[in-house]
């Protein structure tokens, strides 16, 4: 099996096209494993992994923990809310204390962009970025690419739309890097206030028309409004956002062909997606969650070989 060119997974920007294909191909094998009656393999036996989460998480944390346990790793969970971080302990001291207990790999989510990069330069363990602020979320982009490839084949030349709050989304940036490296055409769509000014320099198209974008794309990856990150009002109300940029089943039915509908979760039902769209036959949202475990198993396995 091929090796990665990196010791840490800090972002898609640091990966080569070959690295991405290696992860996706390895994930295909692990997906077979998690669908067997006995879902465990001894690949990471005697490896200890700490999940260090400084932000709230449901899917990502559970997905990483399941991936680690499926690989037979020893798992330690750390949550900032009940730790010495509340007493003033620094990030580096916190992680060094965890490493002193002989931990081999750190999976970290942090609200500050660049936190995993800072850590990777100062500790000997492998670091996996599980989301750093509004910067990157590499495993989400990898599982999205895996899910798209599973549905419509090779991504080269495919048209992928990312719709919603692009400005505050780490998922959007990682997806753009990943999809462009795999040869896809990418378009972002949303209100002018929620699309970064620099975004076209990444080689993506920009649109503010949802219906026209849905007609253009093969896959629509819909992002939620990051309400917890909104410091000022970027649009008048959620109701108005939903009216202009929300997607419903009728809009999907009016298209001249079927498209694939995705969402990284959690969904704000009735805002970016109505329930009849989110639960439609075109939606692969729960497939993404399943694929997340296989992709994260692949990432952990490949990094452990470094």
pLDDT tens over the chain, length 306 residues: 579 999 999 999 999 999 999 999 999 999 999 999 999 999 999 999 999 998 888 889 999 999 999 999 999 998 777 666 666 788 888 888 888 889 999 999 998 999 999 999 988 999 999 999 889 999 999 999 999 999 999 999 999 999 999 998 999 999 999 999 999 999 999 999 999 998 999 999 999 999 999 999 999 999 998 766 666 677 878 899 999 999 999 999 999 999 999 999 899 999 999 999 999 999 999 999 999 999 999 999 999 998
Element (H, E) at 301: helix 285-304
**Same domain as 277, residue 163:** yes
Residue 235, domain member (yes or no): yes
| CA pair distance 154, 288, nearest whole angstrom | 17
List the CATH number of the domain containing 31: 3.40.50.1370
What is the pLDDT at residue 270?
A: 93
Which residues lie closer than 8 Å to 7 by C-beta, 6 or more apart? 120, 126, 303, 306
Binding residue positions for L-aspartate: 87, 170, 224
Could you count the other beta carbons within 10 Å of the beta carbon of residue 112?
Answer: 14
What is the pLDDT at residue 83?
A: 64
Which residues lie closer than 8 Å to 144 by C-beta, 6 or more apart? 171, 175, 178, 221, 262, 264, 288
**Same domain as 59, residue 22:** yes
What is the pLDDT at residue 235?
A: 80
Binding residue positions for carbamoyl phosphate: 59-60, 109, 137, 140, 265-266
Residue 1, domain member (yes or no): no
264, 144 Cβ separation under 8 angstroms: yes
Instruction: Tell me which residue of 214, 188, 217 sits closest to 201, measured CA to CA.
Output: 188
Binding residue positions: 59-60, 87, 109, 137, 140, 170, 224, 265-266
Strand partners for 207: 189
What is the pLDDT at residue 260?
A: 97
| CA pair distance 144, 127, nearest whole angstrom | 21
**Same domain as 222, residue 130:** no
Domain membership of residue 160 as a residue range: 137-283
**Same domain as 163, residue 232:** yes
What is the pLDDT at residue 87?
A: 67
Cα 1 to chain centroid, rounded: 24
Total structural domains within the chain: 2
């Amino acid at each position: 099996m091929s090796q990665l060119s990196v010791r840490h997974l800090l972002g898609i920007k640091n990966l080569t096209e070959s690295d991405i294909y290696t992860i996706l191909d390895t994930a295909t094998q692990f997906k077979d494993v998690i669908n067997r009656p006995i879902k465990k393999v001894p690949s990471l036996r005697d490896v200890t992994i700490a999940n260090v989460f400084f932000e709230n998480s449901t899917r990502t944390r559970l997905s990483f923990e399941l991936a680690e346990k499926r690989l037979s790793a020893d798992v330690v969970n750390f949550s900032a809310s009940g730790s010495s971080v509340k007493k003033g302990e620094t990030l580096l001291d916190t992680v060094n204390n965890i490493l002193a207990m002989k931990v081999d790999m750190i999976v970290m989510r942090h609200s500050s962009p660049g936190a995993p990069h800072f850590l990777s330069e100062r500790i000997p363990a492998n670091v996996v970025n599980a989301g750093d602020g509004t910067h990157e979320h590499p495993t989400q982009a990898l599982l999205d690419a895996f899910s798209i490839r599973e549905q419509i084949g090779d991504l080269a030349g495919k048209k992928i739309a990312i719709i919603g709050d692009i400005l505050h989304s780490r998922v959007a940036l990682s997806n753009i890097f990943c999809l462009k490296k795999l040869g896809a055409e990418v378009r972002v769509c949303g209100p002018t206030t929620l699309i970064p000014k620099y975004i076209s320099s990444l080689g993506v198209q920009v649109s503010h028309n949802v219906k026209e974008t849905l007609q253009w794309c093969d896959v629509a990856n819909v992002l939620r409004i990051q309400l917890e990150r909104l410091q000022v009002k970027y649009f008048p109300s959620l109701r108005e956002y939903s009216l202009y940029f929300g997607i419903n089943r009728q809009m999907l039915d009016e298209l001249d062909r079927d498209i694939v509908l995705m969402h990284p979760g959690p969904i704000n039902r009735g805002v970016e997606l109505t329930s009849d769209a989110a639960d439609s036959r075109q939606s692969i949202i729960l497939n993404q969650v399943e694929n997340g475990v296989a992709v994260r198993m692949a990432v952990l396995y490949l990094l452990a070989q470094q």
